[in-house]
Amino acid sequence: MKIITIGREFGSGGRELAKRLAKELDFKYYDKEIISEIAKSTDLDEDYVNKVFEKGLTSYPLHFGTSFAGLSLLNQNSIDIMIAHEKIIRELAQKGDCVFVGRSADAILNDLNPLNIFVYADTDYKLNRCKKYGEIDAEMKDKEILKRMKQIDNGRAKTHSMFASNAWGDRQSYHLLVNTTGFEDIDDLVPSVAEFAEAWFDNNEKED
């Protein structure tokens, strides 16, 4: 079973790269459907679940034997979401070769030895991409967009810290870092990333 996780800074094009990479490799692709499954499992609204992830949770780590039941700092809905979140990602990973976008999948699936990729870019590139592809309210001013970008990335970092001792975006936590700055078409990066992925999996199979 081959698993690729793709963490990304907001506006870097990481989601698009993940989707196209999954198609190139003929892997299953998991992204927003994870939110839908969590909402169904917890009987909560999808928008509410998504906002919980965007905001992030209190950085109370689960990687030192802490149980969800002991996290009194979190409200019950947040605890239910995190329990469902981990369970659903692990279930999806068992269905075959796949690519996960964000959702702290790199930390949750660490024991399955996934290929972990992180996508980032310069601030100006991310800002322009957000405006060009409508990733954020078109009526927002640049200053507001930058603030929103920072909030979302902070939320991702906080949620990631719930599941891992390593920091979100820390280069030592990933096998491949992809800087999309200057690439008008993310598709131009796909062949190279796919080639790296295939080589990485082949190498790991030899070691096993």
Burial class (CB in 10 A: 0-12, 13-18, 19+), 91: exposed
Sheet holding 3-8, edge to edge: 28-30, 98-101, 3-8, 115-120, 176-179
N-term to C-term CA, the chain: 13
Q: What are phi and psi of 93, to 5 degrees?
A: -65, -25
Which has the minimum average pLDDT: 86-95, 105-114, 198-207? 198-207
The number of beta carbons lying within 10 Å of the beta carbon of residue 208 is: 6
Residues whose CB is less than 8 angstroms from the CB of residue 191 and which lie 6 or more positions away in sequence, other chains included: 24
Q: Which CATH class is domain 3-182?
A: alpha beta
pLDDT digits (tens, 9 = 90+) for 97-133: 999 999 899 999 999 999 999 999 999 999 999 988 8
pTM: 0.87
- Give the DSSP letter string of 121-162: --HHHHHHHHHHTTSS-TTS-HHHHHHHHHHHHHHHHHHHHH
User: What's the confidence (pLDDT) of residue 165?
Assistant: 80
Amino acid at 48: Y
pLDDT digits (tens, 9 = 90+) for 131-172: 888 777 767 899 999 999 999 999 889 888 888 888 899 999
